[in-house]
A and B are shown apart, each in its own frame.
Chain A
Amino acid sequence: MKILVAVKRVVDFNVKVRVKSDNSGVETANLKMSMNPFDEIAVEEAIKLKEAGSATEIVAVSMGPAACQETLRSAMAMGADRAILVQTDVELQPLAVAKLLHAILKKENPQLVILGKQAIDDDSNQTGQMLAALANLPQGTFASKVKLSGDGVEVTREIDGGLETVALKLPAIITTDLRLNTPRYVTLPNIMKAKKKPLETMTPESLGVDVKPRLKTLKVQEPPKRKPGAKVADVKELVAKLRSEAKVI
């Protein structure tokens, strides 16, 4: 069974971004970039399925500028077998990414596609669901457990009130939530090995996909700031203030 995993290069989760002074976007130059944390979980899950003997090949896919090669090398250092980069400098929105992935799906015919549930930069939480729709496949989003069974897969999903489990026919699309697994650290020998693994480059044009953005960003602003608060000396003062000043209890 072949598994496709999608990985996105994003500003590292530890970095607090700043809005550009001309309000055209956020400043991303010279910031530390990493693989989107939910995508690391996706790669890890694919590797686990391979280690368990359920999967035979893992193909990592990323989209964006040439620097996304680093993200793909990280995925291969974790354990992906080969990689595909769809290279473009156009701003890719979720619908465009889903269309590009759909084009790759048609070439690769994987039985399972695993993606992070959301990227921590645009926080859209759309791509996996959109890909499932375009490919007319079932979806198991926000997965906390994945179990292959016969010609299907059972996905336990994190929902607002707890958990639910759905059975999907394969091929299927899965998006990861936090508790699915803990991604492994990459080791130096594996980083070296990853450099020799195949990385194929394509373009939106070669895949015949129109990636023109549908949403135009008019401006990006700082969120409203909270008034600075104050420290209280003890529990008594806290309760007194909550009662008489804030009037919330």
Chain B
Amino acid sequence: MAALVIAEHDNRLIRSGTLNAVSAATKLGGEVHVLVAGHQCGAAAAAAKQIAGIAKVRVADAPQYKDGLAESLAALVVSIAKEYTHILTPATTFGKNFLPRVAALLDVAQISDVVAVENPDTFVRPIYAGNAMATVQSSDRIKVITVRTTAFDAAAASGGSATVEPVAPAADAAQSKMLGQELTKSERPELAGAKIVVSGGRGVGSAENFKLVGQLADKMGAALGASRAAVDAGFAPNDYQVGQTGKIVAPDLYVAVGISGAIQHLAGMKDSRVIVAINKDADAPIFQVADYGLVADLFQAVPELISELDKK
């Protein structure tokens, strides 16, 4: 029995979700291998070799893997899939995009967003925006799994000494082409791995006012998030979205500002260790999950909070 984790990387650095997926893979009890598929991705492969707990890094270095396009990457994974009982990747937009293709080509089910490994064929995953947890058993020969990163501690990024072995590239699918990326530039920590997340909702009122939420995030060294309502209203970009259809976060501290707490939003943050809610509506559902609730006008409370945090 061996598990293959497909690494998410930018050809230089391994992205953190990969470490959570490795951690889920080690719970299966067999050997864990990591596939680094990229172009001129030697640095990423060298970084993968350091991950604790893995036996082997397999590297496919070819132009068609430069951008992680689903068509080419899926074909590659399928070409080595038969050597494994489990194939895992983080449930990020990277993993969600290509892994179902792998499952379909292998004629097996995919188990999405796994939050717990019960045994090598039984897994727990949230359904209905996390309002229910389903325990599912797979009868397929190869289990294809996306891992909810917040549910598994990250494997150590160093201390490992895996062997490295090249993989022959599969035929280039050549069905799609990357035209370009517009990545959000920010000095703030990334939402997915941040220790503190400050999010704004519809109550913030405008994109201009949303800067105030940003100021609080900066004061706290936090990542900035938003509810779907705030994204829909154009206050914040979509990649800030926390919730059922956005990002799932579980920081030590989550501060919800002007967020009412729709079930779709709670799905994305209710596993945070400590939740603070600031809302002027005392009946807002967010207060039902908040450890500390402050019923107040955010336009007074947030500036006050920023200045209070300055005091030691």
Residues of A within 8 A of B (CB): 11, 13, 16-17, 19, 26, 38, 93-95, 98, 117-118, 120-134, 137-142, 144, 154, 157-169, 177-179, 214-223, 226-232, 234-236, 238-239, 241-242, 246, 248-249
* Bound: A124/B175 CA distance, A: 25
- On chain A, the residues within 8 Å of B244 by CB distance are 120, 123
Q: Are A246 and B292 in contact (CB under 8 A)?
A: yes
- On chain B, the residues within 8 Å of A162 by CB distance are 181-184, 237, 239
**Known A95-B109, A216-B139; contact A138-B71, beta-carbon cutoff 8 A:** yes
Q: Are B294 and A241 in contact (CB under 8 A)?
A: no
Q: Are A226 and B270 in contact (CB under 8 A)?
A: yes
Contact of B292 among A93, A131, A230 (CB under 8 A): A230
Instruction: Judge whether B43 is part of the interface by a CB distance below 8 angstroms.
Output: no
User: Which residues of B from 10 to 42 have beta carbons under 8 Å from A?
Assistant: none
Q: Are B287 and A229 in contact (CB under 8 A)?
A: yes
Contact of A232 among B100, B140, B253, B294 (CB under 8 A): B294
- On chain B, the residues within 8 Å of A133 by CB distance are 74, 100-102, 104-105
- On chain A, the residues within 8 Å of B180 by CB distance are 164-165
A157: min CB distance to chain B, Å: 8
- On chain B, the residues within 8 Å of A13 by CB distance are 264
Q: Which of B104, B108, B111, B273 has the most CB of A within 10 A?
A: B104
Instruction: Judge whether B206 is part of the interface by a CB distance below 8 angstroms.
Output: no
Instruction: Judge whether B138 is part of the interface by a CB distance below 8 angstroms.
Output: yes
Q: Which one, B49-57, B58-66, B89-97, B157-165, is touching chain A?
A: B89-97
* Bound: A215/B121 CA distance, A: 10
**Contact string against A for B residues 67-84, beta-carbon threshold 8 Å, 1 for contact and 0 otherwise:** 101110010000000000
Residue of B nearest to A227 (CB): B291
Q: Are B100 and A231 in contact (CB under 8 A)?
A: no
User: Which residues of B from 175 to 232 have beta carbons under 8 Å from A?
Assistant: 175-184, 192, 196, 220, 228, 231-232
User: Which residues of B from 214 to 266 have beta carbons under 8 Å from A?
Assistant: 220, 228, 231-232, 237-239, 241, 244-245, 247, 252-253, 263-264
* Bound: A95/B196 CA distance, A: 38
Q: Is the interface of B mostly helix, strand, loop or mixed?
A: mixed
Contact of A126 among B110, B173, B177, B290 (CB under 8 A): B110
Q: Are A26 and B128 in contact (CB under 8 A)?
A: yes
Interface contact tally, CB-CB below 8 A: 255
**Known A215-B111, A235-B305; contact A248-B273, beta-carbon cutoff 8 A:** yes
Q: Are B94 and A159 in contact (CB under 8 A)?
A: yes
**Known A229-B275, A230-B292, A249-B220; contact A123-B238, beta-carbon cutoff 8 A:** no
Contact of A178 among B97, B184, B238 (CB under 8 A): B238
- On chain A, the residues within 8 Å of B263 by CB distance are 16
- On chain A, the residues within 8 Å of B102 by CB distance are 133
A-B contact pairs, 20 of them (CB 8 A): A17-B131, A126-B103, A129-B96, A130-B110, A133-B105, A142-B97, A164-B181, A165-B179, A168-B176, A179-B238, A218-B122, A220-B127, A220-B132, A220-B135, A229-B290, A230-B293, A231-B294, A235-B294, A238-B305, A249-B196
- On chain B, the residues within 8 Å of A232 by CB distance are 292-294
Q: Which of B136, B237, B239 has the most CB of A within 10 A?
A: B136
* Bound: A217/B244 CA distance, A: 21
Instruction: Judge whether B129 is part of the interface by a CB distance below 8 angstroms.
Output: yes
* Bound: A118/B244 CA distance, A: 10
B110: min CB distance to chain A, Å: 5
Q: Are A229 and B129 in contact (CB under 8 A)?
A: no
- On chain A, the residues within 8 Å of B150 by CB distance are none
A55: min CB distance to chain B, Å: 21
* Bound: A239/B310 CA distance, A: 11
* Bound: A163/B239 CA distance, A: 8
A152: min CB distance to chain B, Å: 9
- On chain A, the residues within 8 Å of B173 by CB distance are 138
* Bound: A16/B104 CA distance, A: 31
* Bound: A137/B105 CA distance, A: 12
- On chain A, the residues within 8 Å of B292 by CB distance are 229-232, 238, 241-242, 246
**Known A123-B127, A161-B239; contact A242-B276, beta-carbon cutoff 8 A:** yes
